[in-house]
Protein backbone atom coordinates (compact mmCIF):
# COMPACT_ATOMS: atom_id res chain seq x y z
CA UNK A 1 0.00 0.00 0.00
CA UNK A 2 1.24 3.46 -0.96
CA UNK A 3 1.38 5.44 2.31
CA UNK A 4 2.34 9.00 3.22
CA UNK A 5 2.72 11.05 6.39
CA UNK A 6 1.87 14.75 6.21
CA UNK A 7 3.17 17.25 8.75
CA UNK A 8 -0.07 19.08 9.39
CA UNK A 9 -0.52 22.36 11.24
CA UNK A 10 -3.99 23.17 9.95
CA UNK A 11 -2.66 26.20 8.07
CA UNK A 12 -3.01 27.09 4.40
CA UNK A 13 0.14 25.35 3.23
CA UNK A 14 -0.15 22.07 5.10
CA UNK A 15 -3.89 21.81 4.40
CA UNK A 16 -3.23 22.22 0.68
CA UNK A 17 -0.52 19.54 0.88
CA UNK A 18 -2.86 17.22 2.75
CA UNK A 19 -5.63 17.66 0.19
CA UNK A 20 -3.20 16.80 -2.60
CA UNK A 21 -1.77 13.79 -0.73
CA UNK A 22 -5.24 12.30 -0.30
CA UNK A 23 -5.53 12.12 -4.10
CA UNK A 24 -2.10 10.53 -4.56
CA UNK A 25 -1.74 7.93 -1.81
CA UNK A 26 -3.75 4.92 -0.67
CA UNK A 27 -3.29 5.80 2.99
CA UNK A 28 -2.47 9.20 4.50
CA UNK A 29 -1.45 9.87 8.09
CA UNK A 30 -1.30 13.38 9.54
CA UNK A 31 0.95 14.47 12.38
CA UNK A 32 0.48 17.71 14.33
CA UNK A 33 2.79 19.12 16.99
CA UNK A 34 1.83 20.77 20.25
CA UNK A 35 4.87 22.85 21.19
CA UNK A 36 3.03 25.39 23.31
CA UNK A 37 2.67 27.65 20.31
CA UNK A 38 1.10 31.08 20.50
CA UNK A 39 -1.77 30.21 18.15
CA UNK A 40 -2.85 27.02 19.93
CA UNK A 41 -6.18 26.99 18.11
CA UNK A 42 -4.28 25.47 15.20
CA UNK A 43 -4.27 22.10 16.99
CA UNK A 44 -8.07 22.03 17.19
CA UNK A 45 -8.35 23.24 13.59
CA UNK A 46 -5.97 20.50 12.46
CA UNK A 47 -8.02 17.87 14.29
CA UNK A 48 -11.25 19.13 12.73
CA UNK A 49 -9.82 19.26 9.21
CA UNK A 50 -8.11 15.87 9.46
CA UNK A 51 -11.39 14.28 10.48
CA UNK A 52 -13.33 16.13 7.78
CA UNK A 53 -10.87 15.16 5.05
CA UNK A 54 -10.75 11.53 6.14
CA UNK A 55 -7.12 10.79 6.92
CA UNK A 56 -6.24 7.27 8.08
CA UNK A 57 -4.89 8.52 11.39
CA UNK A 58 -4.09 11.87 12.97
CA UNK A 59 -1.43 11.98 15.67
CA UNK A 60 -0.98 15.03 17.91
CA UNK A 61 2.45 14.93 19.54
CA UNK A 62 3.41 16.76 22.73
CA UNK A 63 6.74 18.46 22.06
CA UNK A 64 6.42 21.26 24.59
CA UNK A 65 10.09 20.85 25.44
CA UNK A 66 10.70 22.93 22.30
CA UNK A 67 8.87 25.82 23.95
CA UNK A 68 11.30 25.77 26.86
CA UNK A 69 14.33 25.84 24.58
CA UNK A 70 13.29 28.10 21.71
CA UNK A 71 12.46 31.74 22.46
CA UNK A 72 10.28 33.24 19.72
CA UNK A 73 7.17 35.37 19.29
CA UNK A 74 5.40 32.09 18.50
CA UNK A 75 6.43 30.51 21.80
CA UNK A 76 6.11 33.54 24.10
CA UNK A 77 2.88 35.47 24.58
CA UNK A 78 4.79 38.49 25.87
CA UNK A 79 6.77 38.90 22.62
CA UNK A 80 4.62 40.62 19.97
CA UNK A 81 4.98 39.36 16.40
CA UNK A 82 7.11 41.91 14.58
CA UNK A 83 7.16 42.91 10.91
CA UNK A 84 10.83 43.82 11.26
CA UNK A 85 13.86 41.53 11.06
CA UNK A 86 16.09 41.05 14.07
CA UNK A 87 19.85 41.58 14.28
CA UNK A 88 20.31 38.02 13.01
CA UNK A 89 18.38 38.86 9.84
CA UNK A 90 15.44 36.64 10.82
CA UNK A 91 11.89 37.52 11.91
CA UNK A 92 11.17 37.06 15.60
CA UNK A 93 8.61 34.39 14.68
CA UNK A 94 11.45 32.01 13.79
CA UNK A 95 11.49 29.01 16.15
CA UNK A 96 15.04 27.61 16.05
CA UNK A 97 15.17 23.86 15.55
CA UNK A 98 11.44 23.50 14.92
CA UNK A 99 11.58 21.82 11.54
CA UNK A 100 14.61 19.76 12.53
CA UNK A 101 12.53 18.29 15.34
CA UNK A 102 9.33 18.03 13.31
CA UNK A 103 10.94 16.19 10.39
CA UNK A 104 12.84 13.86 12.70
CA UNK A 105 9.75 12.82 14.66
CA UNK A 106 7.62 12.56 11.51
CA UNK A 107 10.32 10.39 9.95
CA UNK A 108 10.23 8.04 12.93
CA UNK A 109 6.44 7.92 12.70
CA UNK A 110 6.63 7.17 8.97
CA UNK A 111 9.02 4.31 9.71
CA UNK A 112 6.61 2.84 12.26
CA UNK A 113 3.54 2.95 9.97
CA UNK A 114 5.44 1.82 6.88
CA UNK A 115 5.14 5.07 4.94
CA UNK A 116 7.90 5.78 2.44
CA UNK A 117 6.85 9.40 1.81
CA UNK A 118 6.93 12.31 4.24
CA UNK A 119 5.27 15.55 3.10
CA UNK A 120 5.86 19.02 4.47
CA UNK A 121 4.54 22.37 3.27
CA UNK A 122 7.76 24.37 3.59
CA UNK A 123 8.51 26.81 0.81
CA UNK A 124 11.59 28.70 -0.32
CA UNK A 125 9.79 31.12 -2.65
CA UNK A 126 7.37 32.89 -0.32
CA UNK A 127 8.81 31.95 3.05
CA UNK A 128 9.54 34.29 5.95
CA UNK A 129 13.30 33.96 5.85
CA UNK A 130 13.34 30.81 7.96
CA UNK A 131 16.51 28.79 7.23
CA UNK A 132 14.69 25.51 8.01
CA UNK A 133 12.30 26.05 5.09
CA UNK A 134 15.01 25.94 2.44
CA UNK A 135 15.40 23.15 -0.08
CA UNK A 136 19.02 22.58 0.91
CA UNK A 137 18.00 21.97 4.51
CA UNK A 138 15.21 19.54 3.59
CA UNK A 139 17.50 17.52 1.34
CA UNK A 140 20.07 17.34 4.14
CA UNK A 141 17.44 16.13 6.61
CA UNK A 142 16.18 13.58 4.10
CA UNK A 143 19.66 12.15 3.70
CA UNK A 144 20.23 12.01 7.47
CA UNK A 145 16.91 10.32 8.21
CA UNK A 146 17.35 7.74 5.48
CA UNK A 147 20.88 6.95 6.65
CA UNK A 148 20.06 6.99 10.34
CA UNK A 149 17.10 4.62 10.04
CA UNK A 150 18.39 2.63 7.06
CA UNK A 151 15.02 3.33 5.49
CA UNK A 152 14.14 4.59 2.03
CA UNK A 153 12.17 7.62 3.10
CA UNK A 154 11.52 10.50 0.70
CA UNK A 155 10.64 13.96 1.95
CA UNK A 156 8.40 15.73 -0.54
CA UNK A 157 7.88 19.49 -0.56
CA UNK A 158 5.06 20.23 -3.03
CA UNK A 159 5.15 23.97 -2.33
CA UNK A 160 8.90 24.51 -2.37
CA UNK A 161 9.02 26.51 -5.60
CA UNK A 162 5.49 27.95 -5.57
CA UNK A 163 4.60 31.48 -4.56
CA UNK A 164 1.51 32.11 -2.47
CA UNK A 165 -0.70 32.82 -5.48
CA UNK A 166 0.33 29.48 -7.00
CA UNK A 167 -0.37 27.73 -3.69
CA UNK A 168 -3.92 29.09 -3.89
CA UNK A 169 -4.09 27.81 -7.47
CA UNK A 170 -3.01 24.39 -6.22
CA UNK A 171 -5.82 24.37 -3.66
CA UNK A 172 -8.27 25.38 -6.38
CA UNK A 173 -6.92 22.67 -8.68
CA UNK A 174 -7.89 20.11 -6.05
CA UNK A 175 -11.33 21.74 -5.51
CA UNK A 176 -10.35 22.91 -2.03
CA UNK A 177 -9.96 26.68 -2.34
CA UNK A 178 -13.01 27.48 -0.21
CA UNK A 179 -12.03 24.91 2.41
CA UNK A 180 -8.52 26.32 2.71
CA UNK A 181 -9.71 29.94 2.61
CA UNK A 182 -12.45 29.59 5.22
CA UNK A 183 -11.38 26.76 7.53
CA UNK A 184 -7.59 26.75 7.77
CA UNK A 185 -5.62 28.78 10.33
CA UNK A 186 -2.51 30.65 9.22
CA UNK A 187 -2.81 33.75 11.42
CA UNK A 188 -0.14 34.21 14.09
CA UNK A 189 -2.87 35.65 16.32
CA UNK A 190 -5.04 32.53 16.05
CA UNK A 191 -7.93 33.83 13.90
CA UNK A 192 -9.36 31.27 11.46
CA UNK A 193 -9.83 32.03 7.76
CA UNK A 194 -8.73 35.47 6.63
CA UNK A 195 -7.18 36.05 10.07
CA UNK A 196 -6.25 39.31 11.75
CA UNK A 197 -5.15 40.90 8.49
CA UNK A 198 -2.08 42.44 10.09
CA UNK A 199 0.48 39.78 11.06
CA UNK A 200 3.08 38.77 8.43
CA UNK A 201 1.38 35.40 7.81
CA UNK A 202 -1.99 37.03 7.13
CA UNK A 203 -0.51 39.66 4.84
CA UNK A 204 1.33 37.05 2.78
CA UNK A 205 -1.76 34.85 2.57
CA UNK A 206 -4.11 37.70 1.61
CA UNK A 207 -1.77 39.12 -1.02
CA UNK A 208 -1.35 35.69 -2.57
CA UNK A 209 -5.09 35.11 -2.73
CA UNK A 210 -5.69 38.50 -4.33
CA UNK A 211 -2.94 37.85 -6.89
CA UNK A 212 -4.59 34.55 -7.77
CA UNK A 213 -8.09 36.01 -8.03
CA UNK A 214 -6.79 38.89 -10.19
CA UNK A 215 -5.52 36.51 -12.89
CA UNK A 216 -6.66 32.95 -12.27
CA UNK A 217 -5.84 31.63 -15.72
CA UNK A 218 -2.22 32.78 -15.77
CA UNK A 219 -1.49 31.80 -12.18
CA UNK A 220 -3.03 28.36 -12.70
CA UNK A 221 -0.92 27.90 -15.84
CA UNK A 222 2.18 28.93 -13.89
CA UNK A 223 1.32 26.44 -11.15
CA UNK A 224 0.68 23.57 -13.57
CA UNK A 225 3.96 24.28 -15.36
CA UNK A 226 5.82 23.61 -12.10
CA UNK A 227 4.22 20.27 -11.22
Which residues are known binding-site members for Zn(2+)? 187, 196, 199, 202
Q: How far apart are CA 53 and CA 97, in angstroms?
A: 29
Binding site feature residues? 8-18, 187, 196, 199, 202
Question: Residue 119: enclosing H or E segment and its boundaries?
Answer: strand 117-119
Cα 44 from chain centre: 15
Burial bucket for residue 88 (CB in 10 Å: 0-12, 13-18, 19+): exposed
**Integer Cα distance of 188 and 95 in angstroms:** 13
Residues in the annotated binding site for ATP: 8-18
Label residue 86 exposed, middle or buried (CB < 10 Å: 0-12, 13-18, 19+): exposed
Amino acid sequence: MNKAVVIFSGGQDSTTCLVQALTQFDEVHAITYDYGQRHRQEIEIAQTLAKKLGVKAHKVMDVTLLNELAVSSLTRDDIPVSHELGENGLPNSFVPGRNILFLTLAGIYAYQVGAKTLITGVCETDFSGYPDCRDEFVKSMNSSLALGMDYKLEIKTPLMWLNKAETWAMADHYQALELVRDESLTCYNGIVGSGCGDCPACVLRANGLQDYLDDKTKVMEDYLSKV
